[in-house]
Amino acid sequence: MAEETGGVPADIETLFDQLDAAEREAHAVVAGLDEARGTWRSEAGNWSVAECLDHLATANRVYLVPMEAAAAAGRARGRLRRGPAVPGVVGRWFVRTLEPSAKLRKMRAPRQIQPRASPPLADAFAAFLASQHQVRAFLRTNADLDLARLRFVNPFIPGVRFSLATGLHVIPAHERRHLRQAARVRAAAERATIT
């Protein structure tokens, strides 16, 4: 079993650390950014900084719904922690495909997590922070469960079931990918002449 730090297992602490890092990155992306640059797009069909944040907020909320149901069912069956919250082989592969360094062709986000059209920057950022709070609350509440073995139905890939541990690693990997995208959009917006 993973070494514990301050009463929290190291694997759970690592997940909290990843969520904290994503939140710091989001703060850096929006710091001093005005509404015009926060909602700027390089071209039609590309996302603005606000849309990247809105996409993450929506994806986190949608992903948590089946994860919460699986956790509740696991708790009712007494499925308590037996080992670290780490994905299996397929889960690790899937998480790697979401990292910013993954060389994937550009894919369209599933319909249910498309960002709202031109959300206000402050609103999108607040929604992202609220979703981070929900993910942390899920992790705090369910850290004592057997996260590596309890499974949920992936809401975006019909018929695919992931462990809760995989889901908890997918979320920060997905956040890293789109926060890097948002940082690139911000840099481009700062170079562009915006009227």
The pLDDT tens digits for 90-103 are 888 888 877 777 66
3-state helix, strand, coil in the chain (%, to 5): 60, 5, 35
Q: Which CATH class is domain 7-103+110-191?
A: mainly alpha
% of the chain with per-residue pLDDT over 70 = 91
Domain positions in the chain are 7-103+110-191
What angle, rounded to 10 degrees, do the helices at 10-30 and 164-191 form? Answer: 20
pLDDT tens for the chain, residues 1 to 195:
344 446 789 999 999 999 999 999 999 999 999 999 999 998 888 999 999 999 999 999 999 999 999 999 999 999 999 999 999 888 888 888 777 776 665 667 767 777 888 899 999 999 999 999 999 999 999 999 999 999 999 888 888 899 999 999 999 999 999 999 999 999 999 888 665
47: nearest Cα among 170, 195, 183: 183
